[in-house]
Homo-oligomer: A and B are copies of this chain.
Amino acid sequence: MKASYRLILDCPDRVGIVTCAAEFITRHNGWILEASHHSEEETNWFFSRIVVDANSLPFGIDKFRSEFTTIAKEFKMNWRIVDQSVPKRVALLVSRESHCLSDLLDRWRSRDIACEIPCVVSNHQDLRGLVEWYGIPFHHVPVTRENKPEAFDQIIEMIEGYRADTIVLARFMQILPASMCDRYPNRILNIHHSFLPSFIGARPYHQASARGVKLIGATCHYVTTNLDEGPIIDQDVIRVSHSDRVEDLVRLGKDVEKVVLARGLRDHLEDRVMVHRNKTIVFK
């Protein structure tokens, strides 16, 4: 992958946004590698992601940032410029189920997702050995009904200590305190084991079995204080039949969960996901 900068912006829609942004880049001889735009009619809002070859520019990211500020102000943009060569730092939170963790670690080792994984935190010891085989620090933070606030304080401390910018709940099975959700807006990814908004809450495979659905699914979403109601990043489903019992749904669902979480995380890491109200724009 070429060294590149990603310009991510959204603003009220009007004439000239693309032109101004593109003109700024071209004026500095910048080579645009990718450009995606979206206009939301209802809210008259504009979204854009432009990837520029870093080596084609005569300056670095700081100069880019300061120079672009004038345009950004003119159009009242929410914006950021991201250096693709600086990998995001992803803290993984897990419980005892290994399928998502194992899948992510293999993708990370194979460089199929570009990030650093500074630590894995778990409320159980089961997966320590696997994580440590990959050379990643593993921290055990038991979470009980009694110690929950302290436990999450400790987890947040670790996240801060490791300077993680992204948190992935890889089947963590614990409800985060609202304060933690609010602290990391659009930075905590969860994989919910149902096709949301179906089967919100506990034991979704049991609910799916009871309702007799013919497809089960999984949903990767950003965590907000409204449990299972955060903005959806990706979803997928798999066919099941009357002969699949709850334990079969659990097993079959794992394949969807791990693939959807990995896809959602990859989009997040590549700054392809923008959040607007409670929905996402995902530039593929």
Whether A214 contacts B234 in the complex (CB less than 8 A), given A32-B18, A279-B242, A282-B242, comes out as yes
> Could you tell me if B212 and A279 are in contact, using CB atoms closer than 8 angstroms?
yes
* Nearest Cβ on chain B to A77's Cβ, whole angstroms: 16
> Could you tell me if B215 and A237 are in contact, using CB atoms closer than 8 angstroms?
yes
Q: Which DSSP category, helix, strand, loop or mixed, fits chain A's interface?
A: mixed
Contacts of A234 in B (CB 8 A): 214
A43 within 8 A of B: no
A217-256: which have CB < 8 Å to B? 217, 231-237, 241-243, 245, 251, 254-255
Contacts of A35 in B (CB 8 A): 18, 35, 37
Whether A22 contacts B30 in the complex (CB less than 8 A), given A98-B106, A103-B106, A243-B38, comes out as no
* Nearest Cβ on chain B to A274's Cβ, whole angstroms: 9
A261-284: which have CB < 8 Å to B? 262, 278-282, 284
Each complex incorporates copies of this chain amounting to 4
A5 within 8 A of B: no
Pick from A59-67, A148-156, A181-189, A194-202 the stretch touching chain B.
A194-202
* Nearest Cβ on chain B to A110's Cβ, whole angstroms: 6
Q: Return the chain B residue nearest A278 by Cβ.
A: B212
Contacts of A130 in B (CB 8 A): 133
Contacts of A214 in B (CB 8 A): 232-235, 282
Contact of A31 among B15, B110, B198, B199 (CB under 8 A): B15
> Could you tell me if A29 and B15 are in contact, using CB atoms closer than 8 angstroms?
yes
* Nearest Cβ on chain B to A223's Cβ, whole angstroms: 15
